[in-house]
Structure 1
Amino acid sequence: MSFLFACQKPSTTKIEFVVKQHGVQQACDERQNLMWFVSEFQSDNTLSISPSKFSSESVALIGANCEKSSWQVELMADDLDGKKLSFSMAVPFNENHLNPLTATSPLNTSEMFWSWQLGHKFFRFDGDDGFSFHLGSTGCKSVSRLRAPSAPCAYPNRYQFELAQFDAHKSIILDLDRLFKQVGGSRSCMSEHNNPTCQQLFANLTTKIFHQE
């Protein structure tokens, strides 16, 4: 007797990110550039990402354009509701300094790349008032800007966030008021270690800028 088993697609959980400022959800606005990478998703164990136009198995780019799919990440797990969910705003080190000319999506987005030496911008915000915040690793040592470092950078600037009880039916909110607290009117930040604006932003990144309501 033989048995036939149908191949089933692994169950997944689709999560969505939204942006709020002044308590109002922000619509896609071409006057300001806002994108960020997410990676290293974990719950009970490490979670892989279902590859798409804006993601690989390990990293996803949020906010690449106004397509709804560019604000979503599909995780290879179906039992995340009510569990802890953590993720990083970063590109894994072993992928951060790869050749940008041969990189695949989403690491082939030129607006999110500094150099082989520094790697990618983990977060990019360019406001219509001239203020910009680009987050990425600094203090990276290699023989030239066109070579990748062999060791982690002096200032990795990699931030991890945790939702104690993830609600799979709710969006994850990026709160710009929390991120930009006490930086209004400040000069821009390109992740310089000695820039006072950067120091305030780095401190804000250790707070709950991501949450659910």
Structure 2
Amino acid sequence: MTPLPAVGSSIYESAAGGPLAVKGDPPPVIVADQYLGVKFYVATPVTTGSVGGYLAPYAAGVETEIVGAIVRLDGPHDFPNSFDLTADDVLGQTLISVSEPAGDFAGDLAVTLSEGWYALIFAATGLKDRNNAIMPRLNRTIEHPLYFFGRVLDPKASNWFAYFDGGGLEGARMFVSTEPVPPAPELPTVLLGSGPDGLGPAAR
């Protein structure tokens, strides 16, 4: 698995791709009790093709899989209505596979967005390292991203989760594209020691 090439038209991106930030806090993490996201505004109707971010595995050498979702918001001060992404405001979600090295990873997600506010949110798929990811910080954000994060407060309480604006996510790259994820390139098949007739090396 390799990071994605730049494809399609950007509907939204919170930070430009590369270079990595050389200063700042450790990269924010996507784990079972903490989700990361950004709010964005759509001015004209558009259909998404994929969502993703600049990501890396949570643990070195462990390929991971997380969830990316688009949520409809009532405005810039609104948050998703659920932590498990099961409420009616969730328009769609996809799985995103992440491996080394760090880079842009995305999953296909086709949703038609009308004018209004939305959230792009990333969630863990479980409790183990293979279900989590990190978002290495990049050097340049675009304008002023409306980052937010969700956190489990008390699993036994009725209000067991909450979302908060900010969260120190500066430099986290999150994006929505019009194009689906391009297929992985196929490696050519080479049969050693066989020519056109399958019996020996090809003549030159």
- Bigger Cα Rg: 2
Which structure shows the bigger proportion of residues in helix conformation?
1
Which structure shows the bigger proportion of residues in strand conformation?
2
Question: TM-score if structure 1 supplies the norm length?
Answer: 0.26
Question: TM-score if structure 2 supplies the norm length?
Answer: 0.26
